[in-house]
């Protein structure tokens, strides 16, 4: 179990961020940290926030290492294709050289 010492100011800051954040994973992370700041056990936090034990631990470690700013960082894996990173002119040039029709285009 992760032990984090919260000051009253830290608790107030977490609560304010939790209440002001509109939605999504960042709000859930703030909710978990706020519940921990209130002294709840991990099992209770899992039940109230409707999340898994490993997520609770990860959110708390993120907060412990980077504060509230670390809770806004997304760790989602979003691969980027090679083609998406190329400019339109580069794609056009590559297509023309690799096209079975060559530079002439379609017949």
- DSSP symbols for 52-101: -HHHHHHHHHHHHHHHHHHTT---------HHHHS-HHHHHHHHHHHSTT
pLDDT score of 107 more than 60? no
pLDDT score of 106 more than 70? no
Confidence of residue 12 (pLDDT cuts 50, 70, 90): confident
pTM higher than 0.85 for the full model?
Answer: no
Give pLDDT tens digits for 44-98: 999 999 999 999 998 888 888 887 777 777 666 667 776 676 777 776 777 677 6
Domain boundaries, the chain: 8-70
């Amino acid at each position: 179990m992760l032990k984090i010492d919260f000051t009253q100011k830290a608790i107030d800051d977490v609560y304010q961020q939790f209440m002001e954040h509109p939605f999504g994973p960042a709000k859930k992370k703030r909710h978990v940290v706020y519940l921990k700041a209130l002294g709840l056990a991990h099992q209770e936090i899992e039940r109230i926030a409707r999340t898994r034990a490993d997520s609770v631990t990860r959110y708390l470690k993120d907060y412990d290492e980077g504060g509230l700013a670390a809770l806004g960082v997304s760790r989602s894996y979003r691969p980027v294709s090679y083609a998406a990173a190329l400019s339109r002119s580069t794609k056009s040039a590559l297509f023309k050289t690799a096209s079975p029709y060559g530079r002439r285009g379609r017949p």
